[in-house]
Amino acid sequence: MTTYSLSNAASADVLGIAKFSLKRWGEKKAKEYVDGLKRVFAGVAERPQDGKVVALRPKLRRVQYRSHYVFYRIRTQVWR
């Protein structure tokens, strides 16, 4: 099973998206949106090569989820 980790900044972004969505569209839609983002993260972990290469930063890739972009780098191993 492939895993992913979010940077502190990315985690803060997801929290901000959740708070905005909750305020704007309510609990059900906010949960659906954040759950969708999490599915995108899992999909990127499983198939990272599917993302588009960012032209000015070739080691960076991106995928779009509705009105947001997820930017990431491919790492083969993470040591902790």
Question: Is the whole model's pTM more than 0.95, yes or no?
Answer: no
Give me the pLDDT at residue 3, please. Answer: 82
Give me the pLDDT at residue 79, please. Answer: 60
Give me the pLDDT at residue 1, please. Answer: 64
Question: What is the full per-residue pLDDT of the chain (80 aa) written as tens digits?
Answer: 678 889 999 999 999 999 999 999 999 999 999 999 999 999 999 999 999 999 999 899 999 999 999 999 988 765 66
Give me the pLDDT at residue 41, please. Answer: 96
Could you give all domains of the chain from N- to C-terminal order, each with its CATH number?
Answer: 8-72 (3.30.2310.20)
DSSP 13-77: HHHHHHHHHHHHH-HHHHHHHHHHHHHHHHHHHH-GGGSEEETTEEEEEEEEETTEEEEE---S-
